[in-house]
């Protein structure tokens, strides 16, 4: 936590009120930096091999998926919005999902890591990063 908070220790109406302030220690912004290659276990090779690490991105939603077809059918015609639209967004970050690809057999697997506002893949400097996550939340 960063910042400070003050409160009046004696009465509020007293013009010579004594103020007591508490200042929290400022934490450094946590930057998660992950190397682009990692030596980890491959289930297909059944041994540790070098894996290429990348950030998982959601693919384009299919129009032919059953849920989308059902939703479109229900929305068709008169009657307005038929399903609830979620507005109470509480989270400011998403969990980062890493995609590991085995360099030998090309098998892929996903691994979620913690929530973070700043995420980089294999870079040394903090300035000018292209793989930074969370740009729209700052």
**pLDDT higher than 60, residue 121:** yes
87-105 tens-digit pLDDT: 999 999 999 999 999 999 9
**pLDDT higher than 60, residue 76:** yes
| Cα distance between residue 49 and residue 51, in whole Å | 6
φ and ψ at residue 66, rounded to 5 degrees: -60, -40
| Cα distance between residue 114 and residue 93, in whole Å | 10
Over pLDDT 70: what percentage of the chain? 68
């Amino acid at each position: 936590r960063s910042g400070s908070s003050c409160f009046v220790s004696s009465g509020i109406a007293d013009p010579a009120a004594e103020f007591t302030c508490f200042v929290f220690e400022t934490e450094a912004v946590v930057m998660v930096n992950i190397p682009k290659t990692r030596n980890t276990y491959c289930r297909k090779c059944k041994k540790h091999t070098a894996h290429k690490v990348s950030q998982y991105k959601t693919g384009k939603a299919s129009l032919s998926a059953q849920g989308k077809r059902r939703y479109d059918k229900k929305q068709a015609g008169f009657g307005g919005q038929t399903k609830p639209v979620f507005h109470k967004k509480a989270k400011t970050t998403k969990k980062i999902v890493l995609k590991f690809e085995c360099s030998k057999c090309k098998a892929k697997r996903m691994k979620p890591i913690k929530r973070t506002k700043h995420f980089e893949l294999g870079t040394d400097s903090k300035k000018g990063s292209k793989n930074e996550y969370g740009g729209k939340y700052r």
